[in-house]
Chain A
């Protein structure tokens, strides 16, 4: 009697399995003698669907940077480590650095030229023996440099904001794919925990960019100009304080988020593994003759899905790196340029211009910190996704 009950339970579970594994059907494999091979074949065929779905989400400029044929062919996942490995990523980064160096050198030259011009006119103004006229001329010279610097900085700030937006949009699009793949692998609890957590994070980041990041940048920019124009030194370093406070707080929040996601995922993956083991044990012990074959088929399906998940996740990480790298490199070079110009202005005796450049360097550093932090969190979260073992493979 008990045995019949177990058999009925196993049959119901076997019927429910296809719902969880949407890509590869367990019942199809049940019909074949070589279930594992068929399951892998099914999963590999479905990989193309996942990759073509992923392809649609990638921005055009990033898509052109990806290796040829990365989304074609059945063995995409197996050839991925060679195509988008460390060598590829570092090669691309080096290429981006080389491409950014020339415009950065031009920007440095023009900013230094502007500083030198203002300093030269400042020297001419020093000859005037009227303090009030010299003061107003210094204000005019500082405003001139501020206007010129701002015309270069607005583009940098907007590109940072745009890149966070496109990174958030890409993550919002890739998370459901990875979640679906996790559910297919039997990690239902893990998928709900990690997917929901990551979507929550992307929402927070989008809101932060819209309501906090840009207004804060604007405020810092305004403060930098005020501190340069007033020249009384009371507002010096405010941008530095804002940057330090913000990065420490955001860094702590990010570390907390990463820790919570990691341990939640580990716990959920363990729970999913136990559930899947129970199902497999029930199937193996209660279905006569083909029970163990069905277990192997499930294992094969899970392995195929894991391969797809790894491929999608790896491409996702590379795409995020390619989206963010140009902006991070530009921000880094921009900070260096502003630092050099600040030093040059100090040497030329233009203290106000030096203060302006130093404060703008702080603003640039703040933007760099925000973009880098967001990128690291996204990559870490995707890596957490990749590290999850399929529950059905146990």
Chain B
């Protein structure tokens, strides 16, 4: 049932062999022949598909080739399409084989945090982008939306995460935290209260923390 020129060279023989009730009148016959051929082509396509599936299954059984998870694939695209703001750098401390764990450093070029350098760790799960990246701030910072353990309060990292977001949008979100810290929904309530009631004092506190020193009872290491 091979469509097209067959191996023994006689083309018309296949036409005759396939004579079926579909070949009633001459014109109908032509149309049906065309249809039949395309059906056969489809059937062949399905066969090839099944064959490939089998081959793939066998290959999986024999050599467990290192297959990238869906999350890794997507992350790979995110990384290769990164368009970092000039304040931000990225590093892969575990080398290029581990893209799922990396660090970014932000050096704000305006606002209260101008001059400081703040490092964040990113942990990407295998179910990315259905789960947001886990982001922590490694640098101890006096900030209303980052607590002293490094937990970050950013809407797109929690309730507003959606899988069309990517690493780039998260990085822009983190940058925004430094240019526009907000006193609503704070993690560091003390810092938020100061920002709300006395922005001048807040500015002084941020400077003191970044230079390395105490704000209240908390010691901050230098990050300028």
Partners in one complex: no
The interface of chain B, by Cβ under 8 A from chain A, is: none
The interface of chain A, by Cβ under 8 A from chain B, is: none
